[in-house]
Amino acid sequence: MSRDDTGVPTVEAPPTIDERNVVARPPATTGDLLANRYRVARRIGKGGMGEVMNARDEQIGRDVAVKRMKAANPSARAIARFLREATVQGRLEHPAIPPVHEIGSDTDGSPYFVMKKLTGVTLAQLLEDASDDPIMAPLPLQRVLRAFTDVCIAVEFAHVRGIVHRDLKPENIMLGDFGEVYVLDWGVAKVIGEDDGEFADVDSSSGEHATVAGTAIGTPGFMAPEQARGISDIDGRADVYTLGCLLFEVLSGEPLHPRGYDGIQSAIAGVDARPSVRAPDRTIPPELDALCVQATASDRRSRPTARELGERVQRFLDGDRDLAMRRGLAKKHLEIARAAFHSVDAEASRRIAIRESAAALALDPTLAGAAELVGRLMLEPPRTTPPEVEQAIRQEEVHLATVNSWAGIWSIVTALVFLPLVFWISPQSPGHVVALGVSLLVNLGMCVHAYRSRQPRPGLLVLGNTVLVTVTALLFSPVMVAPAVAAVLGMALALTPRFSVLSHAFVIGGLMTLATMGPLVLERLDIVDRTLHVDGAGVVLTAPAYSGHEAGILIAASLYIIALIAGATAMGDALRSRTRTTSRHLHLQAWQLRQLVPQT
């Protein structure tokens, strides 16, 4: 890695095996027996210096991974670099670091070392799957955070023993099939106190390092600023920075720095390392948000140790949240909520007030004033009804009008069934009965239309029922049957939601009164035949409906009384049921709110 005029390291591609004038080793043949012990099978990985083979330990009877050099005739310097990786990894006996079982040489004198065979998925694969389809393959955040804490402890274990990994990245972290966690690829690790200038151009197994002709060793996009600048006294705090980058990517779903040369520039310049800012649509705990910032601080003296980093993530997983930070954030949310609550722009500000006060209460349920404000927002209606609420009310009214129309259909059908009985009791006035039947059919058509229509028109039903009451008054006398029919129909129409002026309660009452009293006034003016006479013997009814047989009149009157009482009772019960349902719903909401808001 060379430097430009500004002193910033520039990326150069690592030399290939051919550029070193080394002949590549021929590919392994399945079934090769290495050191009379390891039966080599297929290749499972490769890198700049070596290749990893799947093998069978015939002596113990277990599957292992054999890493050997790719060059057929490696130089002594190349062999030393290769063996250094094996010895560094072999020093670190930790459950999260793959153990080295043996170091040896094959028949050609090329070195190899035998490691535990791993099965699982790398963090890079998990992040890629979640990025490709976050719905079908969401990132198992709890599992990844638990694995992250294990990685931090393993890295701290290496730091205590004077070893710095220098190349932590998603590809070098594996989550095993049975809950294991592994930190891979210690090929560019730094041993504190040893001169690694000899290995400054070493390339790890991924082949992605910009580490040639300089001392900036690592992967651009994950290197700490001191690594990117190529300073010599790298220590464990560089790994902590990389761990902060990993935590940022896990929480936000995107890398903190871009890859390649731009990643070096970004690390040196510094960026906002808050995942909540990069991914505002995600719910990111504030303590982890702040932890990313601390771990990726440009001043390495401000970074925590790898153990502290892991322990703080573990405390979050255990539920031991940073209460002081949450209380501070809760106060800020409450201040915003109060300002929005008293704002002039009621509709827009109320949304903010509800959201912010809920956030304050979630962060600190004991915060004074937060519960009170949430209660006021929930119980006190806004000055103007939000459009969403208006739309919901409209939909509910349409549904209620449809239900009432269906009840009207059955009521009119029942009345039409008894129409022959009316013919029987009024044989001298068939015209009146026909008018009654026609008015019933017209109202039936209106009810069917209202039931099937997306835009009910109860005003037409009001007019139709007015005509029906008028015909009833002319047929049965304005003072006998018509008033009760008008009262029941008026109640039913008043219970239907208002969609026009005609469906207003005062209009309905006025029309029902006019339909009942109008014929009586016409009778008194001798415009229509009188149906009621008063003399010394009492009231005499001469209405057309009472011109038939006494038995028929009594039967019709009995059925009318029963239907009238049943209809009025049914409407009253429906009204009580609706009122009780509404009251129950409100009480349940109030109970739920009391569970949400702490009692004082």
Annotated catalytic sites, by residue?
A: 167
Residue in 99, 63, 66, 98 with CA at minimum distance from that of residue 82: 66
* Number of CB atoms found within 10 A of residue 153's CB: 19
Q: d(Cα 375, Cα 355) in Å, to the nearest integer?
A: 13
Which residue matches tokens 């979640």? Answer: 130
Whether 31 contacts 24, CB under 8 Å: no
Q: For the stretch 453-483, what's the b/e string if a residue is b when 16 or more beta carbons lie within 10 angstroms of its beta carbon? A: eeebbbbbbbebbbbbbbbbbbbbbbbbbbb
Is beta strand 120-122 parallel, antiparallel or unpaired with respect to 50-57?
Answer: unpaired
Is beta strand 62-69 parallel, antiparallel or unpaired with respect to 111-116?
Answer: antiparallel
What token pair was written down for 385? 């009804």
CA atoms within 13 A on the CB side of 302: 11
Q: d(Cα 430, Cα 515) in Å, to the nearest integer?
A: 21
Whether 399 contacts 497, CB under 8 Å: no
Q: d(Cα 398, Cα 271) in Å, to the nearest integer?
A: 55
Expressed in angstroms, the distance from the first to the final Cα of the chain is 66
What token pair was written down for 281? 């649509």
* Number of CB atoms found within 10 A of residue 350's CB: 19
Is beta strand 9-10 parallel, antiparallel or unpaired with respect to 2-3?
Answer: antiparallel
What token pair was written down for 528? 């229509």
The residues with which 2 forms a beta bridge, in sequence order, are: 10
The residues with which 538 forms a beta bridge, in sequence order, are: 535
